[in-house]
Amino acid sequence: MNEHEMVRLIPSLKDFLWGGTRLKEEFGKNCDLEKVAESWELSVHRSGESIVAQTGQPLSAFLKENPGFLGKEHDSLDILIKFIDARDNLSLQVHPDEKYANEHENQHGKTEMWYIIDASEDASIIFGMKDQLTREQFRQAISDNTILEHVNRVPVRKGDYCLIQAGTLHAVGRGCLIAEIQQSSDVTYRVYDYDRRDKDGNPRQLHIEKAIDVTNLVPFESGVRNTEGLTTVMADNELFTVVYHPMSDKLVLKTSPASFTAVIFTDGSGSITHGSLTRHYTKGDSWLISAGDEDIVIQGSGECLQVTVR
């Protein structure tokens, strides 16, 4: 077996103003940044690319040198996986769908899913609208800073997960530690940001007209569920499939010639084996395994997310 059929990824780290220190202190994201808000674990996006630990290459260069790694009919990596540590509230924001993003941003749209790795006792997220608003009412609520009165705030706890379709107004609340699986896009339209200032004292940019264009203003159920510590298919759609696995001893993951497998360890330590290769894993590690038919065997404790595409 080629030793590069299972690789560990070194993330791109972001120090946004709302971030904390848990990704440094608990997840091994060692760096000189004072805080790490986001850790882009699996990414070929130009805003922050992962590095392959074994070769030192940007992930895009590695994949170009290893055709077939991603699986049959997949010649590009169209998802992005990150950890998010919200010491403070993130901005209220929305992402466009594929059509709008292609036309206006020359990028993918952004549908995403969240897995709540941990949450403080009073943690919550904002998910969609509580009230039905017209476009003009939406614009007025943004203008007079009353938009938070119209959104749906959902308490969350460890183990919760949800799918956030493009067009859904949303925000991560303070005290949430999240694994996010999303389309490979960095298009965000901010609607409200608590009048926060950047390091130079300037208000952070809002994107009101584009947000009005793309936001779904119809109230709907958030769909937040909890794994209850059991193996759970958290998402299974045309963009990505995400399965949560608790681990206490031995876990066997099936692979497929149709798709790569990403394994994201959100807790624990032990060994991961693919064919004749065995490597150590620890909390915060992300591994990328080539498409094929050799099982992935994990021995140890903790929990992981298994991510594939159709």
Give the integer Cα–Cα distance in Å for 126 and 160: 14
How confident is the model at residue 1, as a pLDDT?
Answer: 60
Give the integer Cα–Cα distance in Å for 143 and 140: 5
Are residues 37 and 58 both part of a single domain? yes
Active site residue 157: no
Are residues 68 and 14 both part of a single domain? yes
Are residues 191 and 256 both part of a single domain? no
C-alpha distances (whole Å) from 177 to each of 101, 124, 173, 215, 308 are 27, 11, 10, 25, 22
Q: What is the 3-state secondary structure (H, E, C) of 159-220?
A: CEEEEECCCCCEEECCCEEEEEEEECCCCCEEEECCCCECCCCCECCCCHHHHHHHCCCCCC
Give the integer Cα–Cα distance in Å for 74 and 191: 35
Query: Catalytic one among 8, 46, 157, 190?
Result: 190
CATH number for the domain spanning 299: value is 2.60.120.10
Domain end residue (candidates: 226, 247, 262):
226
Neighbours of 290 (CB within 10 A): 24
Domain end residue (candidates: 202, 226, 250):
226
Number of domains making up the chain: 2
Are residues 35 and 131 both part of a single domain? yes
Are residues 213 and 247 both part of a single domain? no
Supply the range of the domain harboring residue 27: 3-226
pLDDT of the chain, 310 residues: tens digit per residue:
677 899 999 999 999 999 999 999 999 999 999 999 999 999 999 999 999 999 999 999 999 999 999 998 899 999 999 999 999 999 999 999 999 999 999 999 999 999 999 999 999 999 999 999 999 999 999 999 999 999 999 999 999 999 999 999 999 999 999 999 999 999 999 999 999 988 788 888 999 999 999 999 999 999 999 999 999 999 999 999 999 999 999 999 999 999 999 999 999 999 999 999 999 999 999 999 999 999 999 999 999 999 999 9
DSSP string, 55-97: T--BHHHHHHHSTTTT-TT--S--EEEEEEEESSPPPEEE---
